[in-house]
Structure 1
Amino acid sequence: MKASRLSFASRFADLIASEKFMKKAGNIVEVCEQLAEGKIIQLVQCDDGEVEEDEENEEGEESNKGEFDKDDKEFIE
C-alpha cells in the first residue's frame, strides 16, 4: 500500500510540475486578480478554443457583453 501511495504522489507531482498545468494555473491567477480589482468577467476563452459565456445575470437581465483579452490580460467592455 505504501508503494501505491508513493507512485500516486510521484505522478501527481509530475502533473503539477508540467508546463501545461502551470500555464492554466497562471491564467486562473490572472482572472482572480482582475476580479479582485472589481472587474466583471463574462467571457473566458480557454486555450483549447472552448468558450464559456454568461448570458444572463442573477436578476435575469441580459449581461453587458465583453471579452477577456488574452494578450493584454485585461477585460474589454
Structure 2
Amino acid sequence: MEGIGIKDNLSYEEIPVQILDRQVCKLRTKEVASVKVLWRNQFVEEATWEVEEDMKNRYPHLFDSGDIPDQFTNSLLSTL
C-alpha cells in the first residue's frame, strides 16, 4: 500500500486502480451495469460496486484495456 496523500483541509481522494468484476442487474424497465472497483490503499475485500456509466465518465482509463470481467456475459454464453 502507498502512503495516503492528505490535503491541507485534512481530506483525501480515493483513486480507483482496477476493475475486478462486472454485473448487470435487471430492473423492470431497464438494466443497470455495475463494476466492482479496487481503490488505492484498500484491500480487495474492501472493493465496492459502482455504477459502470459513472465510472466510465470519471475514470475512462480503467476501461481502455477491454478486459473487464463480464460475469453476466459469461453466464449468458454458457447457457447457449
| TM class, shorter-length | under 0.3
Query: Given the two structures, how large is their TM-score scaled by the length of structure 1?
Result: 0.25
Of Structure 1 and Structure 2, the greater helix share is in 1
Higher relative contact order (CA 8 A, sep 6+): 2
For the pair shown, the structure with the greater C-alpha radius of gyration is 1
Of Structure 1 and Structure 2, the greater strand share is in 2
Query: Given the two structures, how large is their TM-score scaled by the length of structure 2?
Result: 0.24
